[in-house]
Protein backbone atom coordinates (compact mmCIF):
# COMPACT_ATOMS: atom_id res chain seq x y z
CA UNK A 1 0.00 0.00 0.00
CA UNK A 2 1.34 3.44 -0.93
CA UNK A 3 0.73 6.32 1.46
CA UNK A 4 0.77 9.89 0.22
CA UNK A 5 -0.07 13.23 1.77
CA UNK A 6 -2.43 15.31 -0.36
CA UNK A 7 -2.12 18.97 0.47
CA UNK A 8 -5.55 20.19 -0.72
CA UNK A 9 -7.05 22.36 1.34
CA UNK A 10 -31.93 7.25 15.34
CA UNK A 11 -32.92 6.00 18.47
CA UNK A 12 -33.78 2.34 17.69
CA UNK A 13 -34.20 -0.25 14.92
CA UNK A 14 -37.89 0.61 14.67
CA UNK A 15 -37.10 4.26 13.91
CA UNK A 16 -34.79 3.23 11.09
CA UNK A 17 -37.36 0.84 9.64
CA UNK A 18 -40.11 3.48 9.71
CA UNK A 19 -38.19 6.16 7.80
CA UNK A 20 -38.97 6.40 4.08
CA UNK A 21 -36.39 4.59 1.97
CA UNK A 22 -36.09 4.30 -1.79
CA UNK A 23 -35.86 1.51 -4.37
CA UNK A 24 -33.41 -1.20 -3.34
CA UNK A 25 -29.91 -0.68 -4.77
CA UNK A 26 -30.83 2.76 -6.18
CA UNK A 27 -30.83 6.04 -4.24
CA UNK A 28 -31.59 9.59 -5.35
CA UNK A 29 -29.20 12.11 -3.83
CA UNK A 30 -31.19 15.23 -2.95
CA UNK A 31 -29.92 18.70 -3.77
CA UNK A 32 -30.06 21.14 -0.87
CA UNK A 33 -29.72 24.87 -0.40
CA UNK A 34 -28.22 25.89 2.90
CA UNK A 35 -27.96 23.49 5.81
CA UNK A 36 -29.26 19.98 5.18
CA UNK A 37 -32.56 19.04 6.82
CA UNK A 38 -31.71 15.41 7.52
CA UNK A 39 -35.21 14.66 8.82
CA UNK A 40 -36.56 15.19 5.31
CA UNK A 41 -33.91 13.22 3.41
CA UNK A 42 -34.63 9.54 2.59
CA UNK A 43 -32.24 6.98 3.96
CA UNK A 44 -30.22 4.06 2.65
CA UNK A 45 -30.83 0.92 4.78
CA UNK A 46 -27.57 -0.76 5.74
CA UNK A 47 -29.15 -4.07 6.70
CA UNK A 48 -27.68 -6.92 4.64
CA UNK A 49 -25.99 -9.15 7.24
CA UNK A 50 -22.94 -10.88 5.77
CA UNK A 51 -20.46 -13.60 6.78
CA UNK A 52 -21.36 -13.62 10.52
CA UNK A 53 -24.36 -14.39 12.66
CA UNK A 54 -26.87 -11.57 13.00
CA UNK A 55 -26.00 -9.63 16.17
CA UNK A 56 -28.88 -7.17 15.83
CA UNK A 57 -26.63 -4.32 14.76
CA UNK A 58 -28.10 -2.14 12.02
CA UNK A 59 -27.23 1.11 10.29
CA UNK A 60 -28.49 3.67 7.81
CA UNK A 61 -27.02 6.31 5.55
CA UNK A 62 -28.17 9.56 3.96
CA UNK A 63 -26.66 11.67 1.19
CA UNK A 64 -27.34 15.13 -0.17
CA UNK A 65 -25.37 17.75 -2.06
CA UNK A 66 -25.02 21.36 -3.10
CA UNK A 67 -22.75 23.07 -5.60
CA UNK A 68 -19.65 22.56 -3.45
CA UNK A 69 -20.03 19.41 -1.33
CA UNK A 70 -21.48 15.93 -1.07
CA UNK A 71 -22.84 15.55 2.47
CA UNK A 72 -22.84 12.19 4.25
CA UNK A 73 -24.70 11.07 7.39
CA UNK A 74 -24.28 7.52 8.71
CA UNK A 75 -25.90 6.17 11.86
CA UNK A 76 -25.50 2.85 13.68
CA UNK A 77 -27.72 1.04 16.16
CA UNK A 78 -25.04 -0.71 18.17
CA UNK A 79 -24.30 -1.62 21.78
CA UNK A 80 -20.80 -2.32 23.13
CA UNK A 81 -19.13 0.27 20.92
CA UNK A 82 -15.38 -0.06 20.33
CA UNK A 83 -13.42 3.14 19.60
CA UNK A 84 -9.68 2.65 20.09
CA UNK A 85 -8.04 4.38 17.14
CA UNK A 86 -7.33 8.11 16.86
CA UNK A 87 -4.46 8.39 14.34
CA UNK A 88 -4.90 8.82 10.55
CA UNK A 89 -4.77 5.62 8.49
CA UNK A 90 -5.46 3.45 11.54
CA UNK A 91 -7.32 0.19 10.83
CA UNK A 92 -10.62 1.68 11.97
CA UNK A 93 -12.50 -1.32 10.54
CA UNK A 94 -11.37 -3.13 13.71
CA UNK A 95 -13.35 -0.60 15.77
CA UNK A 96 -17.03 0.13 15.43
CA UNK A 97 -16.90 1.53 11.92
CA UNK A 98 -19.19 3.16 9.34
CA UNK A 99 -18.01 3.22 5.74
CA UNK A 100 -18.91 4.82 2.42
CA UNK A 101 -17.32 3.61 -0.84
CA UNK A 102 -18.06 5.27 -4.19
CA UNK A 103 -16.80 5.66 -7.73
CA UNK A 104 -17.58 7.67 -10.83
CA UNK A 105 -19.27 5.99 -13.75
CA UNK A 106 -16.93 4.42 -16.32
CA UNK A 107 -13.83 4.73 -14.13
CA UNK A 108 -11.76 1.89 -12.62
CA UNK A 109 -10.94 3.52 -9.28
CA UNK A 110 -13.06 4.07 -6.19
CA UNK A 111 -12.83 6.05 -2.95
CA UNK A 112 -13.32 4.53 0.50
CA UNK A 113 -14.11 6.60 3.58
CA UNK A 114 -13.99 4.60 6.85
CA UNK A 115 -14.68 6.35 10.17
CA UNK A 116 -14.90 5.21 13.80
CA UNK A 117 -16.76 6.91 16.69
CA UNK A 118 -13.66 9.04 17.44
CA UNK A 119 -13.91 10.63 13.99
CA UNK A 120 -10.73 8.84 12.97
CA UNK A 121 -10.69 8.63 9.17
CA UNK A 122 -9.09 6.09 6.88
CA UNK A 123 -9.50 7.29 3.29
CA UNK A 124 -8.06 5.63 0.20
CA UNK A 125 -8.32 5.63 -3.59
CA UNK A 126 -7.56 2.97 -6.18
CA UNK A 127 -8.90 0.15 -8.37
CA UNK A 128 -8.90 -2.73 -5.88
CA UNK A 129 -8.24 -3.70 -2.27
CA UNK A 130 -4.54 -4.43 -2.75
CA UNK A 131 -3.78 -1.47 -5.03
CA UNK A 132 -4.75 1.71 -3.19
CA UNK A 133 -3.35 5.14 -2.39
CA UNK A 134 -3.85 6.24 1.21
CA UNK A 135 -5.10 9.82 1.42
CA UNK A 136 -3.70 11.67 4.43
CA UNK A 137 -4.55 15.15 5.68
CA UNK A 138 -3.42 16.60 8.99
CA UNK A 139 -6.58 18.71 8.99
CA UNK A 140 -8.92 15.88 7.95
CA UNK A 141 -11.56 16.59 10.61
CA UNK A 142 -11.79 20.23 9.57
CA UNK A 143 -11.48 19.68 5.82
CA UNK A 144 -14.16 16.98 5.72
CA UNK A 145 -16.02 18.58 8.66
CA UNK A 146 -16.21 15.24 10.49
CA UNK A 147 -18.56 15.25 13.47
CA UNK A 148 -19.46 12.18 15.52
CA UNK A 149 -22.04 11.78 18.27
CA UNK A 150 -23.13 9.03 20.63
CA UNK A 151 -26.87 8.38 20.57
CA UNK A 152 -29.15 6.54 23.00
CA UNK A 153 -28.78 3.34 21.00
CA UNK A 154 -25.48 3.75 19.14
CA UNK A 155 -23.57 6.47 17.31
CA UNK A 156 -23.50 8.55 14.16
CA UNK A 157 -21.18 10.55 11.95
CA UNK A 158 -21.66 13.54 9.67
CA UNK A 159 -19.11 14.73 7.11
CA UNK A 160 -18.72 16.35 3.73
CA UNK A 161 -16.73 15.43 0.64
CA UNK A 162 -15.79 18.66 -1.19
CA UNK A 163 -16.25 18.73 -4.95
CA UNK A 164 -12.71 20.14 -5.16
CA UNK A 165 -11.42 17.00 -3.44
CA UNK A 166 -12.93 14.79 -6.14
CA UNK A 167 -11.69 17.19 -8.82
CA UNK A 168 -8.13 16.64 -7.64
CA UNK A 169 -8.54 13.18 -9.23
CA UNK A 170 -11.13 14.06 -11.91
CA UNK A 171 -10.72 17.77 -12.83
CA UNK A 172 -13.88 18.00 -14.94
CA UNK A 173 -16.21 16.24 -12.52
CA UNK A 174 -19.46 17.86 -11.37
CA UNK A 175 -22.27 16.56 -9.16
CA UNK A 176 -24.59 15.29 -11.90
CA UNK A 177 -25.66 12.02 -13.45
CA UNK A 178 -24.85 9.19 -11.08
CA UNK A 179 -22.20 7.48 -8.98
CA UNK A 180 -21.80 3.85 -8.02
CA UNK A 181 -21.32 3.04 -4.35
CA UNK A 182 -22.07 1.08 -1.20
CA UNK A 183 -22.35 1.74 2.53
CA UNK A 184 -21.14 -0.57 5.24
CA UNK A 185 -21.11 -1.22 8.98
CA UNK A 186 -18.41 -3.42 10.45
CA UNK A 187 -16.33 -4.07 13.54
CA UNK A 188 -13.72 -6.80 13.27
CA UNK A 189 -12.60 -6.58 16.91
CA UNK A 190 -15.83 -5.46 18.53
CA UNK A 191 -17.53 -7.63 21.11
CA UNK A 192 -20.10 -8.56 18.45
CA UNK A 193 -18.13 -8.97 15.24
CA UNK A 194 -20.24 -8.01 12.24
CA UNK A 195 -20.30 -7.11 8.55
CA UNK A 196 -23.36 -5.33 7.14
CA UNK A 197 -23.94 -3.61 3.80
CA UNK A 198 -26.53 -1.64 1.82
CA UNK A 199 -26.34 -3.79 -1.31
CA UNK A 200 -25.79 -7.50 -0.89
CA UNK A 201 -22.35 -8.99 -1.56
CA UNK A 202 -22.25 -12.55 -2.89
CA UNK A 203 -18.74 -13.56 -1.83
CA UNK A 204 -17.57 -16.41 0.41
CA UNK A 205 -15.18 -14.35 2.58
CA UNK A 206 -15.44 -10.84 4.06
CA UNK A 207 -14.54 -8.20 1.49
CA UNK A 208 -16.10 -4.76 1.03
CA UNK A 209 -13.74 -3.88 -1.82
CA UNK A 210 -15.98 -5.20 -4.58
CA UNK A 211 -17.36 -2.52 -6.92
CA UNK A 212 -19.23 -5.14 -8.90
CA UNK A 213 -21.79 -5.15 -6.05
CA UNK A 214 -22.21 -1.38 -5.77
CA UNK A 215 -25.61 0.27 -5.97
CA UNK A 216 -26.57 3.36 -7.97
CA UNK A 217 -26.50 6.91 -6.53
CA UNK A 218 -28.40 9.34 -8.76
CA UNK A 219 -28.18 13.11 -8.40
CA UNK A 220 -31.42 15.11 -8.60
Residues 14-69: tens digit of each pLDDT: 444 444 444 579 999 999 998 999 999 999 999 999 999 999 999 999 999 999 99
Give the start-end residues of each E strand in the chain: 2-5, 26-31, 44-46, 48-49, 58-65, 69-77, 97-104, 110-115, 121-128, 131-136, 147-150, 154-162, 178-186, 195-197, 215-219
Q: Nearest Cα to 192, choosing from 121, 96, 75, 84? A: 96
**Residues 106-116 pLDDT 10s:** 999 999 999 99
- Give CA–CA dist 189/92, Å, rounded: 10
User: Would you tell me which CATH number, out of the four given (2.60.40.1190, 3.90.1010.10, 1.10.3720.10, 3.30.70.890), belongs to the domain 27-219?
Assistant: 2.60.40.1190
Q: Determine contact, residues 160/69, Cβ cutoff 8 Å.
A: yes
- Residue 163 exposure: Cα atoms within 13 Å on the Cβ side: 12
Per domain, the residue ranges of the chain are 27-219
pTM of the model as a whole? 0.90
Confidence (pLDDT) at 24: 74
Q: Determine contact, residues 97/81, Cβ cutoff 8 Å.
A: no
Number of H helices, E strands in the chain: 3, 15
Amino acid sequence: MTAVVLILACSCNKDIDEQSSQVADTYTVAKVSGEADWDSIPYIPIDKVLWCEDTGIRAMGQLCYDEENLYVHLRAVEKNIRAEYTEPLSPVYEDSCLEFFFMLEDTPDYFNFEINPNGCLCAQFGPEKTDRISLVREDAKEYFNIKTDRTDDGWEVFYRIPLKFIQFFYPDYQFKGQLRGNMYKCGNKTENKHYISWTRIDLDAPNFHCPEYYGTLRFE
